[in-house]
Structure 1
Amino acid sequence: MQQKWTTRPARSAPPAIGRAGAGIFAQLAQKTKYMDPALAGHWPTLAGPRLASLSRPGRITGAGRVGKTLELHVPNGSAAAEVQMATDELLKRINAYLGPGSVTRIAVLQSGKRVPPTRKTAPKPAKQEDDDSPLGSALASFRAAINRRNEEN
Structure 2
Amino acid sequence: MTIYQRTRPIRSAAPAIARASAGVFRKLAQQTKFMDPALAERWPQLAGEKLAALCRPGRLTGRGPGGGGRTLELFVPNGAAAAAVDMERDGLIARLNTYLGPGSVSRIAVIQTGKAVTASKGPAPEGGGEDGELGAALASFRTAIRRRNGGK
What TM-score bracket applies, with the shorter chain setting the length?
0.5 to 0.7
| Partner residue of 1:95 out of 87, 94, 97 | 97
Aligned length: 121
Partner of 2:64 in structure 1?
A: 65
Q: Distance in 1 between matches of 2:115 and 2:125?
A: 28
Q: Structure 1 31/115 Cα, relative in aligned 2: closer, same or farther at 3 Å?
A: closer
- Structure 1 stretches of 4+ with a deviation exceeding 2 A read 6-20, 26-33, 121-126
Q: How does 1:77-96 map to 2 (within 5 A)?
A: 77-96=79-98
Q: Distance in 1 between matches of 2:85 and 2:30?
A: 24
Q: Distance in 2 between matches of 1:32 and 1:104?
A: 22
User: What's the offset of the Cα at 1:15?
Assistant: 4.7
Partner of 2:29 in structure 1?
A: 29
The one-letter code sitting in structure 2 at the alignment partner of 1:43 is: W
1:105 is paired with a residue whose SS is strand
% same residue: 61
1:72-93 deviations in whole A, cap 9, x for unaligned? 0000111111111001111111
Tell me, yes or no, if structure 1 residue 104 matches structure 2 residue 103. no
Q: Distance in 1 between matches of 2:29 and 2:122?
A: 29
1:58 is paired with a residue whose SS is strand
Q: Which runs of 5+ in 1 are unaligned?
A: 1-5, 127-153
Q: Distance in 2 between matches of 1:42 and 1:90?
A: 13
Partner of 2:20 in structure 1?
A: 20
Q: Distance in 2 between matches of 1:70 and 1:110?
A: 14
Q: Which moved more, 1:10-19 or 1:41-50?
A: 10-19
Partner of 2:121 in structure 1?
A: 120
2:109 is paired with a residue whose SS is strand
Q: Structure 1 17/125 Cα, relative in aligned 2: closer, same or farther at 3 Å?
A: farther
Q: Which moved more, 1:94-103 or 1:69-78?
A: 94-103
Q: Structure 1 20/55 Cα, relative in aligned 2: closer, same or farther at 3 Å?
A: same
Partner of 1:142 in structure 2?
A: none
User: What's the offset of the Cα at 1:59?
Assistant: 1.1
TM-score (norm 2): 0.64
The one-letter code sitting in structure 1 at the alignment partner of 2:87 is: M
